[in-house]
Every structure is written in structure tokens, then in C-alpha cells.
Amino acid sequence: MSDALYELLGADRVHATDLTRGPWDPGAEHGGAPAALLGRAIERVEPGADMRVARVTMELLRPVPLGELRVETEIVRPGRRVQLVAARLWAGDTLTVQALALRIRRAADVSPAVVSDARAPAPLPGPEARPGVRFGADRSFPDDGCELRFARGDYRAPGAAVAWIRLNVPVVAGETPTGLQRALAAADYGNGVSAVLDWDRQLFINPDLTVHLERDPVGEWICLDAETTIGDDGTGQATSTLYDERGRIGRAVQALYVDRR
């Protein structure tokens, strides 16, 4: 039994373990797992040593199955200052997730630092704050792949919430997750932690995820200050302000597809 989200099978192939399993379908992954995996792929595309990932937009085109998957990447827009990098995740011949990342050159002594005066997040609660609710009997991403502590709100309390999240396991076996990987994995929780609909009666699935990062995240924990709005036409949106333990790092937005469960 693996203690990582994915095991490498080759240069471009991975095996998704049961730690990627999501809450909606026991045979499909939580969106945070492939988000972190494609974030890893984007970081490894060269030339990128002096580039920072400033934005990632992902379309979750199909449910991502557990099992063997293939990752491909390409530089869509090369450049010394600004780059666009695409990453795609395939299950056999089916494209399941596609991502487009904006990378921007790091350069010292170009502009003065202007730090946001936005309020700090709620402090990280103690271990006893982890919700005592499981999404299933089997191992899964929200139950075992991550640790989640609510600073405000709860899965059982509908509405806006503040939650701290960290990966419990590596994205790929044998590797330490990077700040980008941790941020993307956590950002996909926005619609879950701030849910306003009944989990047992409704689906509120995000077919996309966009994350803007103001700087590189540091540390193991990522905080989401999240809020969900639902329209009367079967669509909605979840928005999250993202923090690490030093302060704000960016924002995440998810469009939501709503239906009866």
C-alpha cells in the first residue's frame, strides 16, 4: 500500500493510488490530487529555473480514474520574461485534465517590494480541531492524503469557512512537495470547506480551478478563507483567499456545476 498520491512508472507515466480518491465517486480522484501532479509537471519544464508560477488555470474535463495515467507538457509561449506552459493528464486516450500556467521571470532590484496590508488569516488551530467526519470507509484524498483543520466553520456548518490544509503524503513517492504543489492541492478544497448545500442531496462539483499566486508559498500548511455562492440556474462559484503561515499568497476561483445527487 503506497504512502504517496502517485507512483512513477516512467518518465511520463504515473499510477494514481487510493490516496487520490475523491468524495463524489469512489473510482475518481479528488481535484486537488491531479492539480498538484500537474503543478509538479509545470515546475519541471525547462527553461524555468528563474521563472515563478504566477497563475495556473485547470479544466477538469473528465473524472480522473485511479490507476495508470500519462502526463505531457509543452511550452506554449517561450520567453525570457514571460512564459505559458501547458500540462495535460491522460487516462488512456482520454484527456482528463488540462492546465495552462503563466510563469514570470524573477529579477532583483527591478521594482520596490509593496506588501499587502490585507488581514492575516486565522491562526492554525491545534490537532484537536480536525473534523471527525469521513467521506468513506476506504482511503481517500480528503480523509487520508491531507490533514484539514477548521479555524472557522465546519463541513457540517454551511457557509463561509477558514480552513488550514496540508498534504500528509508526497505527491510523487520519494519527493518532498513544493509550495506550488501544496497550494494547488489545497486550493481545490474551496467549494468543499465553504459548502452551502447538503452533501447528501446535492452535487457541487468544480469543472475548473484558477489559482493566482502573489509569491512562492512556504511551509507545509495552506489556509483557505473560502466562500461559495449558488445561483438558481444550477451553477455557482467558490472563491478563496489563500495564505501560508507568513501571510496572504494569492486567490483561487472555482466554477461550480450543481445538481441533485
What pLDDT shows up at residue 131?
72
Q: Is the pTM of this model over 0.85?
A: yes
User: In angstroms, rounded to a whole number, what is the distance separating the alpha carbons of residues 77 and 81?
Assistant: 11
Q: Is the CB of residue 32 less than 8 Å from the CB of residue 185? A: yes
Q: Tell whether 113 is covered by a domain.
A: no
Q: Tell whether 115 is covered by a domain.
A: no
CA distances (Å), origin 188, targets 12, 49, 237:
24, 26, 12
Q: Is 65 exposed, middle or buried (0-12, 13-18, 19+ CB in 10 A)?
A: middle
What pLDDT shows up at residue 108?
77
Q: Tell whether 123 is covered by a domain.
A: no
**pLDDT tens for each residue of the chain, 261 residues long:** 679 999 999 989 999 999 999 988 889 999 999 999 999 999 999 877 789 999 999 999 999 999 999 999 999 999 989 999 999 999 999 999 999 999 999 887 777 776 766 667 788 999 887 776 777 778 999 999 999 999 999 888 899 999 999 999 999 999 999 999 999 999 999 999 999 998 889 889 999 999 999 999 999 999 999 999 999 999 999 999 999 999 999 999 999 999 998
Q: Tell whether 149 is covered by a domain.
A: yes
Q: Tell whether 114 is covered by a domain.
A: no
What residues make up the domain containing 134? 6-105+129-260
Q: Tell whether 110 is covered by a domain.
A: no
We report the CATH number of the domain holding residue 247 as 2.40.160.210
Number of domains in the chain: 1
What pLDDT shows up at residue 132?
66
Q: Tell whether 210 is covered by a domain.
A: yes
H/E run at residue 183: helix 179-187
Q: Tell whether 116 is covered by a domain.
A: no
User: In angstroms, rounded to a whole number, what is the distance separating the alpha carbons of residues 16 and 9?
Assistant: 10
Question: Helix 32-43 crosses helix 179-187 at what angle (to 10 degrees)?
Answer: 150
* φ, ψ (nearest 5 deg) of residue 193: -70, -25
Coil, helix or strand for 78? coil
User: In angstroms, rounded to a whole number, what is the distance separating the alpha carbons of residues 238 and 178?
Assistant: 24
